[in-house]
Amino acid sequence: MKFTRTLLASALVALLAACSNGAQDAAQDAQKSADQAQQAASQAADQAQKAAASATTAAAPASTAAPAAAPASTAAAAPAAASTAAANAMKSAAPASSSKGN
């Protein structure tokens, strides 16, 4: 009986030692993965900052060019509005002249 208990205790200790080594390896692997993920996130944040900085510098000239483009767009809209008004006037005059002829 004492021999069986000793043998069982030895087997239990050996099993726990084997499991703890596997758990330790898994923990080390998880730590490596976490370190790699943190490094990748840091690199992505750096790239995002650089992209935001370049977008800000690119947007500055565009915002100064926008007021200059506004007068051109309003100047182009004026003839279009005049031609629309002329077309509307012609449409309204057309039925009146055709009714005179009948």
- Is 22 a member of any domain? no
* pLDDT digits (tens), the chain, 102 positions: 777 888 888 888 888 877 777 777 888 888 899 899 999 998 999 999 999 888 888 776 655 655 555 555 555 555 555 566 666 666 666 554 444 554
Per-residue pLDDT, 49: 92
- Is 76 a member of any domain? no
HSE value, Cβ hemisphere, 13 Å, CA-based, for 40: 6
- What range defines the domain where residue 40 resides? 29-53
Per-residue pLDDT, 68: 54
Per-residue pLDDT, 43: 92
Q: What is the number of structural domains in the chain? A: 1
- Is 38 a member of any domain? yes
- Is 49 a member of any domain? yes
